[in-house]
Structure 1
Amino acid sequence: MRDIHEVIDRRAVTTVFQPLVDLSSGALIGFEALTRGPAGTPWHTPDALFGAARAAGRETELDWVCRAMAFRTILAAGPDPALTWFVNMEPAAARIPCPPDLAGTIADAEHLRVVTEVTERSIGHDPAGLLAVTTGLRAGGRGIALDDVGADPGSLALMPFLHPDVVKLDMQLLREPDEPRTARVVAAVGAYAETSGAAVLAEGIETARQAMAARTMGATIGQGWHYGRPGPLPEHARAGAQLPFIEPPPLSTGTPFEIVSRRRPVTRTTKSLLMPMSRHLEALSGDGTEPPVLLACFQEARHFSAATAARFTRIAANSPLVAALGTDLGDEPAPGVHGASFSAADPLHGEWNVIVVGPHRAAALVARELPDDAPDRDRRFDFALTHDRALVLEAARALLPRLAPAPSTHLLLTRS
């Protein structure tokens, strides 16, 4: 083949499958579909394939091609309906229509039991788009998996926003079981799995010893060469166990102040007294080896001062997601910072909110200004403060659908 355009135009990709097993019984649960480019070409490996497609501006079309080819191969095998199929997806592909020649295959696969895999990078790049995609997938009966958790510190903070049915531990954790970082990742994932009912999947298991280590890390599903290398789909594969899907996250109705004040006491104070609390929460975002998400509402762009922009830029350099919302704030009010603008009639216009969500901490300061004409430092607010993780997440989810993709970052795709 001459170039990546010909590979995509001819749909010249193939799918191999790797088994997923129940770690306690060894029973087959399903398979992960893995894409390969044409053998003997520079585009055989998935990273090379998608790297070339990205450079050519056709990565989202290639994503549609890969999923359709995976489904076509599965459907041709007449699969056991109890099998679960893990399939990678680039959420940006949902922003373009499915190519007409692939639409029939995509529709035919609707009855398959599919778990769509995404990475934490897609959450940090376009949180609103990803949440819309996953909501639609769940409505269609599909599960969601968060891949490579632990490979990047940001994945832990972003995990509860996606609310995945399956958390896939990065394979490096099995190779460093005694490292403090591994312990922190395992603790955060275990806490999420316990509260949500999600399953934990360990990747890269190559030995019985690693399988045992995976179980001590809380994994219930295993994947790796110990159970089978990627290859053609076996004939007459039957599921011996089934992966349950969990309840989707609760819908956030209202603004952060409305959400929190319904369940927490409200106190009245002035701007000058709120400032130290706000700065304290912002400081939490720049603290530690596992930086949290920071979401803030500033009412109007004039309150997002140059000093504040500099602070948020510093935090965004390490945080997986930083956002500032306010009237006349653009899509990127500071480098690396997501933005969102709203009108003076929007209920958010009256709110001053600072929300921090990390793997081991969560806090929200929510305030609403009273309608009077006091001097700036004496402006009065009703406010509430909460550290209840579920309540903080509900307030944060109310803001995510408003955020634009970060224009100064480019989503980096990786495929197994």
Structure 2
Amino acid sequence: MATADMFYYLLFLLWCVTALLVHFFIKTFLKSRNQNNLPPSPPALPVIGHLHLIGAVLAKSFQTLATHYGPLMQIRLGASTCVVASNAVVAKEIFKTQDLNFSSRPEFGSSEYFIYRGSRFVTAQYGDYWRFMKKLCMTRLLSFPQLDKFTDVLDEEKVKLVESVNGCAREGKLCDLNCELTALTNNTICRMTMSTRCSGSDNDADQIERLVKICLQLAGKLSLGDILGPFRIFDFSGNGKKLVGALQAYDRLVERVLQEHEEKAKKGFEEGERKDLMDILLEIYNDPAAEIKLSKNDIKSFLLDLFFAGTDSSSAAMKWAMGELINNPEAFKKLRDEINTVVGPDRLGQNFRYLPFGSGRRGCPGATLAMMVMHAAVGALVQCFDWKVKDGKKVDLTQGPGFAAEMAHPLVCYPIKHMNAC
């Protein structure tokens, strides 16, 4: 029996090695045929490509490599090849001049385990479905008139943020801005999406928030299939199975909330009653004359992407802003003075040195919402409080791993109420 088992183990090992070698030679052959069309690239190792040159912080690794190989370079992460652009001139060429050629999105990482494959707006290929969803975002879901209806929601969540921080200030306790800012963004998005708060509410929305965080952590982990292309079908780490389980749990909860909204819609809305994003999406779902017929999966996937953005990138941007301001008292004072006197017009523009929301056709449709939340939160924290770092040190601005460029260490400080500003 043991001899038979050993034979099968050896056979499986031989199959693995053969598959790797065949994959490597095919990639090498194709590379040699297209070598003239590729950007500069560091020397790569068989199978793993340039993974040995990549550290825990992806952006820092790319920055270091760009100093040697230029503003446009080719990087191979195992079986996946990508092109890295790292200056304003190249970024403008990609996002403006060649915008249409870069309008689609390749599958990467954990996308194969997403139960909404084919329904994801963020990763959809450039085509009719993507154009319809983008138009929907800009004209109804995330338009200025729609966001204007929720200004009271943002104001209320901002007040709750100030009250929570003020409680820490009264008691002389440390304030965890990571938790406070994440709660602000999540509650704002939950109330806009399904008319209920999520953080600390112990309801369906609260459970959805927890599942979104789990999905985000699992989705951000590099799959072994991305490194060893032929083994993409195997889930060696088990993260794929966990992600599917979390997504299925999310699906059940959102389905329940959707049914509640459908029942409410059948009874009819009162005159002047505000519709949330879920109500609007269900209207389009039930509209026989809609340009493209939305499915329930389309709705659930869109909401998931919206939660991802709020949980990850928006709160991370606010933490970095507060960390930089606390470490630079002159900039902090200048901002406070500006808030207390007059706030100038919006100056977002198209600066290709800094692209927090992307640009061109695939620019983030939720940029206006994100800026509203960030301006309100950072403005309130600067206007109402002074901040002191524990032990008199400066905020540690070391960047951590992950796609959202999170801080490596929690942003925890002592808030001191600024006179009677708030």
Q: What range describes the TM-score normalised by the shorter chain of this pair?
A: under 0.3
Query: What's the TM-score, normalizing by structure 1?
Result: 0.25
Query: What's the TM-score, normalizing by structure 2?
Result: 0.25
More helix by share: 2
More strand by share: 1
**Greater RCO, 1 or 2 (C-alpha within 8 Å, sep 6+):** 2
